[in-house]
């Protein structure tokens, strides 16, 4: 299954440079001084997207791209690291998706050490994806652990690592910092999205997703191509009746993106109508209303077999959908 929406930015030149710069900054001459895991202090990423506790003496650096935020920390001896990350996620993950693809994210966040080995892949009962890593940094063999979670419209978490010879004790000392990681969904919503608008509607979409002008509005596609959002307005020559409304919305969808079969319709408390359509292996969820002499529509097209996984993402974007003459 394609998972490029999660790793496309990390695989870009910009993200490779960001990760590489961070790891260069956190690399230095090593020594055998005991690794300090005491004196926790609060750290909050400048984007506000996540926060955690880190040892006070550790060096820190942070950066971000359009829909991802990263911070890295190294102890004064440069033998141990914490890497924290949060990236936009447009659907919740199955066990198979997470266990197949979280290692790709971990590899990129660690800047792909040549001898990196990832083992013990599991999804815990609390929903976290956990993997064990081993690799060499500064000529020292390291062990590490990555703990990542999907939720709050993001895939987020931490990777910790340190000398293999000290790992059992070190992991116990770092565990409170792993546990302290906290995603801030309201900042994900406020940071990773950007508004689009027309004369009779406005909403937010993920920053950096490809936009395409279409008749009366805009079509937006995810980096993976598996989610399409279309928002449009169409002038009406006369009001639609209850009998002709669904027909008009169906025709509007078909004009925009081809044949589709209406499978359900229900009025919503906000006065709009929610409609569902089938198109081959795709499901389209539509929201429509007539207002100020316009038919205003918002369509989300996703793989039918994973439609429920995309619903939280759809619900958030729909919650920002404003209609009416500006």
For the chain, 326 residues long, give each residue's pLDDT as a single digit of tens. 223 344 343 444 444 444 554 554 555 555 678 899 999 999 999 999 999 999 999 999 999 989 999 999 999 999 999 999 999 999 999 999 999 989 999 999 998 999 999 999 999 999 999 999 999 988 899 999 999 999 999 999 999 999 999 999 999 999 999 999 999 999 999 999 999 999 999 999 999 999 999 999 999 999 889 999 999 999 999 999 988 999 999 999 999 889 999 999 999 999 999 999 999 999 999 999 999 999 999 999 999 999 999 999 999 999 999 999 87
Q: Is 93 exposed, middle or buried (0-12, 13-18, 19+ CB in 10 A)?
A: buried
| Statement to judge: residues 185 and 198 lie in one domain | no
| Statement to judge: residues 50 and 86 lie in one domain | yes
| Statement to judge: residues 160 and 203 lie in one domain | no
| Statement to judge: residues 206 and 302 lie in one domain | yes
| Statement to judge: residues 302 and 278 lie in one domain | yes
| Statement to judge: residues 196 and 161 lie in one domain | no
| Statement to judge: residues 22 and 105 lie in one domain | yes
* Count of all residues that appear for the chain in the document: 326
| Statement to judge: residues 161 and 216 lie in one domain | no
Closest by Cα among 18, 15, 22, 148 to 89: 148
| Statement to judge: residues 232 and 182 lie in one domain | no
Handedness of CA 50, 178, 150, 96 (dihedral sign): positive
d(CA 298, CA 232): 7
C-alpha dist (Å) from residue 325 to 199, 200, 219, 240, 319: 6, 4, 20, 18, 18
| Statement to judge: residues 160 and 213 lie in one domain | no
Range(s) of the domain holding residue 287: 192-323
d(CA 79, CA 88): 30
Give me the CATH number covering residue 299. Answer: 3.40.1000.10
Domain final position from 155, 189, 223: 189
Q: How many domains are contained in the chain?
A: 2
| Statement to judge: residues 150 and 252 lie in one domain | no
Tokens of 252: 């509007």
| Statement to judge: residues 185 and 54 lie in one domain | yes
């Amino acid at each position: 299954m394609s998972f490029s929406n999660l790793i496309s930015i990390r695989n870009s030149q910009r993200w490779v440079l960001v990760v590489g710069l961070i790891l260069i900054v956190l690399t230095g001459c090593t020594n055998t001084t005991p690794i300090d895991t005491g004196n926790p202090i609060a750290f909050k990423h400048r984007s506000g997207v996540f926060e955690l506790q880190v040892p006070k003496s550790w060096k820190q650096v942070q950066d971000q791209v359009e829909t991802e935020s990263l911070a890295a920390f190294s102890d004064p001896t440069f033998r141990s690291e914490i890497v924290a990350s949060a990236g936009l996620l447009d659907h919740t993950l199955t066990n198979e998706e997470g266990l197949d693809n979280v290692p790709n994210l971990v590899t990129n966040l660690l800047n792909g050490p040549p001898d990196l080995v990832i083992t013990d892949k599991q999804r815990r009962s609390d929903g976290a994806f956990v993997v064990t890593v081993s690799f060499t940094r500064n000529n020292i063999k390291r062990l590490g652990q990555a703990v990542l979670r999907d939720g709050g419209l993001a895939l987020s978490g931490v990777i910790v690592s340190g000398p293999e010879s000290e790992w059992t004790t070190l992991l116990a000392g770092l565990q409170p910092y792993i546990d302290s990681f906290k995603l801030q969904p309201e900042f994900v919503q406020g940071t990773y999205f950007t508004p689009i608008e027309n004369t009779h509607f406005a909403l937010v979409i993920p920053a950096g997703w490809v936009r395409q002008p279409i008749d009366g509005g805009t079509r937006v596609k995810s980096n993976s191509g598996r989610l399409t959002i279309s928002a449009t307005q169409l002038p009406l020559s006369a009001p639609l009746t209850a009998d002709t409304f669904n027909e008009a919305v169906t025709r509007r969808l078909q004009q925009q993106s081809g044949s589709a079969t209406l499978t359900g319709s229900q009025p919503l408390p906000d006065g709009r109508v929610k409609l569902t359509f089938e198109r081959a292996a795709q499901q389209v969820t539509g929201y429509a209303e007539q207002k100020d002499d316009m038919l205003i529509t918002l369509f989300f097209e996703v793989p039918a077999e994973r439609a429920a996984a995309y619903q939280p993402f759809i619900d958030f974007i729909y919650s920002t959908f404003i209609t009416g003459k500006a």
